[in-house]
Amino acid sequence: MTSAYLSHAIRGSKGASATDADMLRNCLVAKKAAKWIRESISYLDLYVPAEHEDFVHIAYREKYLTEKQILDIDCGIVDQKDFLIVLVENGWKGGGIAVEIKYAKDNNIPIFYIEKMDVGTAMLLRLFVANLAKGKENDNNPNLQLH
């Protein structure tokens, strides 16, 4: 099964000044995008940070984890996935999203950007996943000979 990490805003462009309400709104947007992705590609194993944000938020607020530690963990999860999906909302690709994009680029992890959730994007994402799955299949077939 092909797997992906959905990179999305938690604090967004407000950064450290984001309120709990801002973070909740951003997580709801991410969960909506995750639902759309799962409906478009039911066979994709998708990791969504917003679905685990309660734990992370408490660990950060109580100073059990720093922002860097959280992002290091996120990048470790990205490393276990076949590709990174970046949810671009209003052009925002900063903060933790930028760290995850850099990590993926530095480690040759494919990236797919979603700027809008529509039929065309869903079709392109299905093709992207199919090509990745085909590549994995070829990598795992020792009898395959490329000419």
Q: Are 126 and 41 in contact (CB under 8 A)?
A: yes
**What Cα–Cα distance (Å) separates residue 33 from each residue in 8, 14, 83, 86?**
9, 20, 16, 11
Structural domains of the chain sorted by starting position, each given as residue range(s) with its CATH number in brackets: 3-135 (3.40.50)
Residue 13 has a pLDDT of: 87
How would you class 29 by CB atoms within 10 Å of its CB: exposed for 0-12, middle for 13-18, buried for 19 or more? middle
10-residue mean pLDDT series, the chain (147 residues):
95 89 93 97 96 91 94 97 93 88 97 96 96 77 42
CA distance 90 to 85: 16
Tell me the torsion sign for CA atoms 29, 35, 40, 43: positive
By residue count, the chain amounts to: 147
Closest C-alpha to 73, from 88, 60, 87 = 60
Angle at 57 between CA 56 and CA 63, to 5 degrees: 90
Tell me, yes or no, if the pTM score tops 0.75: yes
Closest C-alpha to 83, from 54, 39, 124, 35 = 124
